[in-house]
């Protein structure tokens, strides 16, 4: 068979499948479920590298394969998929189209650039996208494309409070994201504890979105004063 099939690639594949599933739901008007799928893709991506590095006897070809599929899946999950979500969230004007196209382009450039650097590093287990300071703190070169899987769910939670201002904020966030993707600055890499906090925050945001989705679809009922917040 073509390809490599072992436990080191499972989370990467799950991230892609989650994003494709989210696109299907978004196309059919279930935006909240799409956001849930984006958050799940981000969760899978957060741990796929750790899982891959746990296999100490990976061949050079397996490492190279892992680098390629990780970037390809990231481009779909955190490049194309957010574009779909934003398009169905109001960025469907000519100006919005330009922003979304440039966002995806910036994400692709970032991923391709660090793939090149990985090749130069002879494919050791260190990440070319990450720099480590003498104090042990790790930083990304610029903002990783996967950060959008944290940002968008949190932004969508605030949409009822923002009202008509939400599309404006969404435009601004996507412009900022594409700039940060290709700007070389030190972006702190979360420690394990910080990552857990981020996961909890995103999980709360996703639960809130799902409750709102089920209330609007009349799947569940909640007290009136709470429904005003949804």
- The per-residue pLDDT for range 8-62, each reduced to its tens digit, is 889 999 999 999 999 999 999 999 899 999 999 999 998 888 888 888 878 888 8
| Domain range summary for the chain, segments of one domain joined by + | 7-227
CATH of domain 7-227: 1.20.120
> Residue 40's CB: how many other CB atoms inside 10 A?
21
Q: Buried b / exposed e across 71-94, counting CB within 10 Å, b at 16+? A: bebbbebbbbbbbbbbebbebeee
Per the prediction, the chain carries an average pLDDT of: 86
- Would the CA dihedral through 223, 230, 30, 78 be positive or negative? negative
pTM of the model: 0.86
Distance of CA 44 to the CA centre of its chain: 10
Q: What is the pLDDT of residues 173-182, one digit of tens each?
A: 999 999 999 9
Tokens for 84, please give them. 């779909």
């Amino acid at each position: 068979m073509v390809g490599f099939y072992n436990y080191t690639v499972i989370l990467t594949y799950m991230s892609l499948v989650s994003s494709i599933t989210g696109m299907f739901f978004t196309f059919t008007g279930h935006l909240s479920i799409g956001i849930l799928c984006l958050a799940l893709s981000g969760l899978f991506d957060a741990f796929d590298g750790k899982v891959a590095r746990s296999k100490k006897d990976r061949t050079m070809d397996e490492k190279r394969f892992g680098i390629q599929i990780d970037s390809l899946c990231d481009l779909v999950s955190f490049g194309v998929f957010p574009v779909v979500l934003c398009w169905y969230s109001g960025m469907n004007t000519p100006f919005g189209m330009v922003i979304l196209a440039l966002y995806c382009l910036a994400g692709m450039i970032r991923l391709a650039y660090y793939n090149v650097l990985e090749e130069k590093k002879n494919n050791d287990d260190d990440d070319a996208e990450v720099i480590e300071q003498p104090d042990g703190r790790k930083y990304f070169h610029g903002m990783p494309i996967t950060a959008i899987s944290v940002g968008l769910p949190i932004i969508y939670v605030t949409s009822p409070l923002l009202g008509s201002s939400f599309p404006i904020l969404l435009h601004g966030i996507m412009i900022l994201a594409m700039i940060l993707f290709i700007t070389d600055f030190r972006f702190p890499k979360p420690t394990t504890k910080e990552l857990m906090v981020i996961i909890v925050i995103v999980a709360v945001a996703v639960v809130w979105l799902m409750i709102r989705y089920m209330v609007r679809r009349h799947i569940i009922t909640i007290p009136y004063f709470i429904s005003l917040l949804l």
